[in-house]
Amino acid sequence: MEKVVSGIRSTGNLHLGNYYGALSNFVKMQHEHECYFFIADYHSLTTYPNPEDLHGNVRQILSEYLAAGIDPDAATLYIQSDLPEIPELYLLLNMNAYVGELERTTSFKEKVRSQPNNVNAGLLTYPVLMAADIIVHHASKVPVGKDQEQHLEMTRRFARRFNNMYQQEYFPEPEPYNFGQELLKVPGLDGSGKMGKTEGNAIFLADEPKVIRKKVMKAVTDAGPTEYNQEMAEPIQNIFTLMKIVSHAETYDYYLDQYNNCKIRYGDMKKQLAGDIIDFTEPLREKIKSISSDDPYLKKVVKKGRDKARASAAQTIKDVRRIIGIEAF
User: What are the catalytic residues?
Assistant: 111, 194, 197
Burial call 56-93: b when 16+ CB within 10 Å, e when fewer? ebbbbbbbbbbbbebebebbbbbbbbbbebbebbbebb
Among 3, 4, 5, 22, binds ligand TRP (CB under 6 A): 5
Position 41 contacts ligand TRP (CB under 6 A): no
Residue with smaller CB distance to ligand TRP, 142 or 212: 142
CB 308 within 8 A of CB 78: yes
Position 130 contacts ligand TRP (CB under 6 A): yes
Position 83 contacts ligand TRP (CB under 6 A): no
Q: What residue number has its CB nearest to ligand TRP?
A: 7
Site residue total, ligand TRP (CB under 6 A):
13
Q: How far is the CB of 259 from ligand TRP (least distance, A)?
A: 36
Residue type present at position 306: R
Residues 150-169 that bind ligand TRP (CB under 6 A): 151
Position 43 contacts ligand TRP (CB under 6 A): yes
Among 23, 75, 134, 302, binds ligand TRP (CB under 6 A): 134
CA distance 212 to 128: 38
Position 270 contacts ligand TRP (CB under 6 A): no
Residues near 163 by Cβ (< 8 Å), separated by ≥ 6? 169, 170, 171
List residues bridging with 15 in a β-sheet: 204
Long-range contacts of 255-261 (CB under 8 A, 24+ apart): 259/225, 259/230, 259/232, 260/225, 260/228, 260/229, 260/230, 261/228
Position 174 contacts ligand TRP (CB under 6 A): no
Q: Kindly indicate which of the ranges 7-15, 47-55, 249-257, 275-283 contains the residues binding ligand TRP, using the contact rule CB under 6 A.
A: 7-15
Measure Cα distances from 54 to 15, 45, 48, 207, 303 in Å. Answer: 18, 8, 9, 19, 19
Position 142 contacts ligand TRP (CB under 6 A): yes
Q: Among 276, 275, 254, which Cα is nearest to 265's?
A: 254
Lateral strand order in the sheet of 76-79: 76-79, 34-40, 3-9, 141-142, 175-176
Position 197 contacts ligand TRP (CB under 6 A): no
Position 9 contacts ligand TRP (CB under 6 A): yes
Q: Kindly indicate which of the ranges 54-62, 126-134, 195-203, 219-227 contains the residues binding ligand TRP, using the contact rule CB under 6 A.
A: 126-134
Q: Kindly indicate which of the ranges 5-13, 110-118, 164-172, 320-328 contains the residues binding ligand TRP, using the contact rule CB under 6 A.
A: 5-13
Interface residues with ligand TRP (CB under 6 A)? 5-9, 40, 43, 130, 133-134, 142, 148, 151
